[in-house]
Amino acid sequence: MSSTIKDVAKQAGVSVATVSRVLNNLPGYSEETKRRVEQAVEELGYQPNAIARGLVNRRTETIGVLFPSVSSSFSSEILHGIEEVAHKHNYSVIVCNTAEDGKRTMKYLQVLREKRVDGIIYSSGVLEPEYYEAVQAMGVPLVLVATKSDWDDVPFIKVDDRQAAYDAAAYLISQGHREIAMIGGGESDSIAGQPRYEGFRQALRDHGLPLREDHVQDGGFTFEGGCGAAERLLTASPEVTAVFAAGDEMAIAVISVAARLGIAVPDQLAVIGYDNLKLAEMSNPPLTTVAQPLHEMGRMASEKLIEMLATGQPAASEVVPHRVIERQTVKKR
Amino acid sequence: MSSTIKDVAKQAGVSVATVSRVLNNLPGYSEETKRRVEQAVEELGYQPNAIARGLVNRRTETIGVLFPSVSSSFSSEILHGIEEVAHKHNYSVIVCNTAEDGKRTMKYLQVLREKRVDGIIYSSGVLEPEYYEAVQAMGVPLVLVATKSDWDDVPFIKVDDRQAAYDAAAYLISQGHREIAMIGGGESDSIAGQPRYEGFRQALRDHGLPLREDHVQDGGFTFEGGCGAAERLLTASPEVTAVFAAGDEMAIAVISVAARLGIAVPDQLAVIGYDNLKLAEMSNPPLTTVAQPLHEMGRMASEKLIEMLATGQPAASEVVPHRVIERQTVKKR
DNA sequence: TTCATAAAGGTAAACGTTTACGTAAACATT
DNA sequence: AATGTTTACGTAAACGTTTACCTTTATGAA
């Protein structure tokens, strides 16, 4: 069907070695030969077979990327960044949707191993020891994005969650709020849950504000969860004038239930989110939020992985800057 | 580093052929032999090399998926569906972000060819003849999702855009609206642009409503474009009581600018969107929209491609049902 | 006993590259 | 003229599988 390097060699009247040399432009042939080979390639419409190449080179120019949920806006912005730089460096990316399922994740890691990907990016979830070991066993570099781990040979790209949450709360305080609530992702989530609670609490403490435990609710990072949490919060604690939601979807949820309850945002209730997803600017009113540069983080993760591939060296983690984006859901009072 | 089938053969005291047989459970060995091989596999932690396997089988169990924009909510819902069923059938998916760029698309097609993917899914854009030919040349099946083409050997999975737009307009009319505007994606887009304009216009005609060309604006399918279009529309034509936006992001845009202009949705202005992205239910107020089952469409595309891979036969296109989801941006008047 | 048949398993070619190594010619050096 | 060096290639092994084909042994039928 499609032609091979042998066909090209025959057509050009040279050996396959020579064809390979001109294709990879290594030295060792005359201009004339090069011309003939190129012409033969042209005539036959030859495309090298990356599979065969991969077999001998032991590199596939492919990386695997694992997400808990590919369809989330969060993941897809990261994916976009990853794909962008991967493509620039001639790498392809295989996406895997772990659905936060350990069995599934292990299955994916096995597939990625069999397919001999050159490296792996693991996004926004806990890197279980089991996963770590699987990646170790396959002997390819791993980088984490929007998460971190205790293994210091695996670099991560991440915002300082604790500080970001601190800054969100501090921002609310700076705007004159005193009764501040938080909707988080759950204390059990050691990556994106706990640290944000801690930052939030620390900010209140540092500003001499009382810590009311009924003012912190768990929204599980989803819109629906956020709605539930917001409803509990807003009905039980009418005194709160501001809420920090540890994810934009949950922030949007509080705006929604506030609207339903007849509470005006930002006049009666200030809301600040976390992430700065595209939906934040499309929100009504536009959502003030602390931004993580997700696209950029994806790019950096890719960049880092490819660097590790090139140098063979472990690379350093990066804590990327967050910042609060002031839009229209927080008003001075 | 990692062990090969030869190592397993040696360890088990059999030939590689036998190992291969038990691994692929073909007939031709005793129970005892099978046991020994499996034990050797276990002991060595052997994982087959899919690259080598791909070389001889000429199948990589990998499909390539092309999107104009991976980070859009639209694409990522489709991707999620595709990935889901692909994984179920032991296929991996390589994502490609064409950025609606012809050169880039061709580059990706070349890469996918070199990597010998088994099939390709092309999503939501015009399949240029050049692309079609490239895929033909590589001799792998192609399926289209959220788009279509004139080649009848390439199946598509798609909603009836014209009818869906018709239904959106008809719904607005059924709710008592008479001055209805539309924000579309541009007449030049023959897939998602034109047909929706046509359906819209036809609905007005069929219901004896006048067609005012200044009531149809181009929002280019983006939030920003939608904002511009909405602004033009709402300031120049205060008489309109309802707008059909040919994409949810544009619909959200009209809600946003309406809010900015002090126009109440749905009391003074009804809005209906198109797509039913996740953001539609998170909108404030929740967006009434005509739903495309994007996740399901992704699943179907994957299913169809894999079916073609299995049978070697071309498959039929599917027009999937749309439906209007009533939420809170359209009110009877 | 002899022969056919089946079962169990081995050998080696093939898949399409890259690359170490070899070789012949051209050229430079003494 | 003899020798070394460089250039321009070609040959063949290797990468890790699958599989067509062969061989050996056991089994059963005649």
What is the CA B24 to C1' D22 distance in angstroms? 21
Under the banding of pLDDT at 50, 70 and 90, the label for residue B1 is low
Distance between CA atoms of B81 and B88, rounded to whole angstroms? 11
Give the pLDDT score at B208: 95
Task: Report pLDDT digits (tens) over A241-254.
Answer: 999 999 999 999 99
Is B145 found in the same domain as B98? yes
* In-domain check, residue B115: yes
Task: Report pLDDT digits (tens) over B88-111.
Answer: 999 999 999 999 999 999 999 999
Angle between helices B31-44 and B16-23 (to 10 degrees): 90
Per-residue 3-state assignment (H helix, E strand, C coil) for B6-64? HHHHHHHCCCHHHHHHHHCCCCCCCHHHHHHHHHHHHHHCCCCCHHHHHHHHCCCCEEE
Give the pLDDT score at B243: 97
* In-domain check, residue B328: no
The backbone region for B211, taken as left when phi is positive above 0, alpha when psi lies in -120 to 50, beta otherwise, is beta
Is B87 found in the same domain as B51? no
Tokens encoding A214: 């009924």
* In-domain check, residue B330: no
Q: Which of A62, A97, A139 is opposite residue B84, by nearest beta carbon?
A: A97
Is A283 found in the same domain as A191? yes
Nearest to B38 by CA among B74, B76, B9: B9
Sort B262 into a burial class: Cβ within 10 Å, 0-12 / 13-18 / 19+: exposed
Average pLDDT over residues A152-175: 97
* pLDDT exceeds 80 at position A227: yes
Instruction: Identify the domain containing residue B105 by its residue range.
Output: 62-159+294-321
Query: From A136, which residue of chain B is nearest by alpha-carbon distance?
Result: B2
Is A261 found in the same domain as A230? yes
| Distance from the A151 Cα atom to the nearest Cα atom in chain B, whole angstroms | 22
Is A262 found in the same domain as A168? yes
The CATH number of residue A12's host domain is 1.10.260.40
Is A192 found in the same domain as A117? no
What is the CA A29 to C1' D3 distance in angstroms? 25
What is the CA B5 to C1' D24 distance in angstroms? 24
* pLDDT exceeds 80 at position B139: yes
Is B155 found in the same domain as B299? yes
Under the banding of pLDDT at 50, 70 and 90, the label for residue B207 is very high
Nearest to B274 by CA among B240, B246, B294, B302: B246
* In-domain check, residue B308: yes
Q: B100 to chain A: which residues are within 8 Å by CB?
A: none
Q: Which of B70, B73, B115 is opposite residue A50, by nearest beta carbon?
A: B115
Asked if residue A129 lies in contact with residue A136, where contact means CB atoms within 8 angstroms, the answer is no
Task: Report pLDDT digits (tens) over A228-243.
Answer: 999 999 999 999 999 9
Q: What is the mean pLDDT of chain B?
A: 96
Is A139 found in the same domain as A19? no
Strands A318-320 and A270-275: unpaired
* pLDDT exceeds 90 at position A187: no
Is B115 found in the same domain as B138? yes
Q: Is the CB of B55 under 7 A from strand C?
A: yes
Tokens encoding A81: 């960044």
Task: Report pLDDT digits (tens) over A206-223.
Answer: 999 998 999 999 999 999
Q: Which residues, at least 6 apart from A14, have a Cβ–Cβ distance to it below 8 Å?
A: A29, A33, A36, A37
* pLDDT exceeds 70 at position A149: yes
Task: Report pLDDT digits (tens) over A21-32.
Answer: 999 989 889 999
Where do runs of H (alpha helix) occur along chain B?
Answer: 5-12, 16-23, 31-44, 50-57, 73-88, 102-114, 129-138, 161-174, 194-206, 223-236, 248-260, 278-282, 294-311
The CATH number of residue A314's host domain is 3.40.50.2300
* In-domain check, residue A17: yes
Task: Report pLDDT digits (tens) over A102-117.
Answer: 999 999 999 999 999 9
SS3 B160: coil
Contact assignment for A51 to B116 by CB distance below 8 Å: yes
* pLDDT exceeds 70 at position A1: no
Provide residues 18-37 of A with CB closer than 7 Å to any strand C atom. Answer: 20-21, 23-24, 26
Distance between CA atoms of A8 and A54, rounded to whole angstroms? 20
**Among A13, A28, A57, which residue terminates a domain?**
A57
Contact assignment for A95 to B93 by CB distance below 8 Å: yes
Element (H, E) at A75: helix A73-88
Give the pLDDT score at B72: 95
Element (H, E) at A113: helix A102-114
Average pLDDT over residues B187-215: 94
Is B145 found in the same domain as B30? no
Query: From A84, which residue of chain B is nearest by alpha-carbon distance?
Result: B97
Query: From B64, which residue of chain A is nearest by alpha-carbon distance?
Result: A94
Give the pLDDT score at A333: 83
* In-domain check, residue A123: yes
Q: A237-252 burial, b if ≥16 CB within 10 A, otherwise e?
A: eeebbbbbbbbbbbbb
**Among B13, B37, B57, which residue terminates a domain?**
B57
* Cα angle A132, A134, A136; round to 5: 70
Under the banding of pLDDT at 50, 70 and 90, the label for residue B333 is confident
Distance between CA atoms of A177 and B65, rounded to whole angstroms? 48
Contact assignment for B94 to A92 by CB distance below 8 Å: yes
CA dihedral (B127, B129, B130, B131) in degrees, to 10, reads 30
Interface of A with B in 129-148 (CB under 8 A): 137-139
* pLDDT exceeds 90 at position A47: yes
What is the CA B6 to C1' D16 distance in angstroms? 9
* In-domain check, residue A330: no
Total domain count for chain B?
A: 3
Interface of B with A in 95-114 (CB under 8 A): 95-97, 108, 110-111, 113-114
Which residue ranges have CB below 7 A from strand D? A 13-18, 27-30, 32-33, 52, 55-56, 58; B 4-6, 16-17, 20-21, 23-24, 26, 46-49, 51-53, 55-57
Q: Which residues, at least 6 apart from A47, have a Cβ–Cβ distance to it below 8 Å?
A: A2, B110, B113, B114, B138
Is B166 found in the same domain as B288? yes
* In-domain check, residue B329: no
Is B266 found in the same domain as B166? yes
The size of chain B, in residues, is 333
| Distance from the B53 Cα atom to the nearest Cα atom in chain A, whole angstroms | 9
Contact assignment for B70 to A55 by CB distance below 8 Å: no
Find the residue closest to C14 using CA and C1' atoms.
B56
Nearest to A324 by CA among A288, A294, A290: A290
Nearest to B281 by CA among B248, B239, B236: B248
